[in-house]
Structure 1
Amino acid sequence: MVENKPKILYVDDEENNLIVFKSSFRRFYEIYTASSAADGLKIIQENDISVIITDQRMPGMTGIEFLKQLPEDLLAIRMILTGFSDVSAIIEAINSGKVYRYITKPWDKDELKMTIDNALEALTLRKNNQALVQELKDINEQLEQKVVERTAELEQALEEINVQNNELEELNATKDKFFSIVAHDLRSPISALAGFSEILAGNGKQLPPEKVAEYSKELNKSVKNVLSLIENLLTWAYSQMNKANLNPTEVDVNAVIEKILTQLAAVAGNKNINLEMDLADGLKVYADEDHLKLVLRNLISNAIKFTEPGGKVSVTTKAIDKSKAEIVVADTGVGMSIEKLTTLFNIGDNQSTKGTAGEKGTGLGLILCKEFVEKNSGSIEVASLKGMGTTFTVTLNQP
């Protein structure tokens, strides 16, 4: 096995000194010699030199000047051979950290070997220190990276907590709205039910037939109001809990509209409101049919509800290019103010409003419309002026 000896460079302009040095130490080290600073620099560039020993007094360049030309990151130990007359300059070089130590001429072989061995130990320590510094630097960079990653994780967790807090706040607002609706909007029709049923139960036999018919009619109206309110409340509650199933299919939108208009014809007729439709032939949309029915029933019912007797409600459909379908529900009713329009789809701000014939609602119908249209990848827009009617436009995807 070949032993890797430390590489020592000796620079001196006197050839005899180079020969003596090499013969003295070649058994212990791999010796390189150079008779000039230029030759020494070339050897250093081409070899991994551990210790550099240079004569101080050389023609054209001193030993200190030679050592100053070495690369800053070179780890090799630097030593100078000198006479006593140069000691002050060399001590200055040692103090500046450029030179490990100086050796006086003439040198003793054993003392010089001991000095070289000490220099090699110093080099080993220097390399170990450098490796330790690099290791600490790497660890520090890893720690910094972990801090960055952990900070990002904490920021993400904080963002998720904020989102959850916002959702909780919205749920609390939703809950408050729910109880407000139950307490306010259901009270009136249920009170009417209780009142009229009490009259009929207690005095039904004494009442004339026309009064019994009148009270029965009011009872029926209150029952329908309660049923409508409860249906919307339950649908809305399921929607808030994400339990409203979404099953999009190809839907014949014209057939849905025609069926709803037929169902609401009697309600419109009682208010002397004309129902009109202008439907594009064969138009289909890709949506959940139950959602679509709820949306259109709410929009058309609202249009009838807020239109004065003798007015008109129209439903039109048309294709927008080959990918979208547009459904427009327009009325000639009471319209809405700008303030009302800005909060129309906000559950916290939306309050139920009586229709032109005193019809009541929960204020949830339009909120459900918006939620269900958006669940089906569509959009809903409204345009209205006070006293000039209202137009709702629903846009959905074609299959």
Structure 2
Amino acid sequence: MTFAFDQLVFAPADVDLTRSPLAGQLGVETYVLGAFNPGMTRLANGNLLLMVRIAEALRHPVKDQQIHAIRWTADGYVMDGWPLEMVDTRDPRKFLIPGGGWKVMALTSLSWLLPVELSADGTELVEVHYERAIAPRADYQCYGVEDARISKVGDRYLMTTCSVSPERHCTTLYSSDDALDWTLEGIVLDHQNKDMLIFEGKVGGKFFAQTRPLGDLYFAYPPGSEWRSGPSINLSASPDALHWKPYDRPGIRPHAATVATARMGGGSPPVMTEDGWLTLWHGVEPSGVVGIYRTYWSILDRDDPSVVVRTCHDAVLEPAPTLTEPIKELMYLDNVVFTTGIADAGDHWVVASGEADLACRITHIDKQVFAQREGTVPG
């Protein structure tokens, strides 16, 4: 599929680490492992705002036969070290600490969020708002704040993030009147319920959200079912965006007709169209260490988002190696496009994604792509 615009708009070289929240605190060199997975919304001035995840990593994490990780504390940032013989370092993004009967890991980077203002069409960089960066400020965020998703409901902006710590791997909520100055509202979903996307509008007078709880056990569908067991995109409702009740009916489930969605999760916050709620989501085909991430779409019923009006088994966005070719020396991962934001631009959508866990990608997708046509299927 060809697009009128499909480019990287923000990459590690665009980040000034002298203005990082970590600057001057560790006494060692850090670098930007990735500037990616941007939440996106439209500001009052018409420009687009990306809330970019900056994964800031130690340039030399191994010292004196120990590998180190960065951790926030109320007194500042510190480094913790583990003996190399205790850990598995095959994945550059993390290291595993065996033992205990379950998976325990630490990250090779700490993530914070950087507001980046783009032109109204998303094609040009306008301003980087370092003074409004969002960094860890609570114990439950001590290993970082990740993967923002921004929704505007009425006159209020709501931003969900993943907060990472030994205490829990939870979803936290921020709110704002202008999408620049944010208030931390606290934890809204507990352990490993990732990819929480608040609908850009209410359903039946309630806030609605897509969620994606993770576990290590899933019960089997009966033989011949059209569905495959595994992580799925669930739904929750709330009277106030703080207290969420899981919806009794399932949301978007992995389909047995394709292995490309063997694992799945939410992408961009659902937006209302003439046909219902448009939602972009990611499916992961098993391959290599992390799999192949692609972006898919579905239209959900406007009054009951558990009903899929139509969808398509073909990806709308694929990983694009040609985009990362100019920065290939920074690559540590491939085969990943991770969509995280959408904005209306008249006859097309502006779609924001993370490319290769490295940079921010903006794509203009014609609205006709999501119309009833050959290749689309009922939910």
TM-score normalised by structure 2 residue count: 0.20
**Bigger RCO (CA 8 Å, 6+ sep):** 2
User: Higher helix share goes to which structure?
Assistant: 1
Rg comparison, structure with higher value? 1
Give me the TM-score of the superposition, normalised by structure 1. 0.19
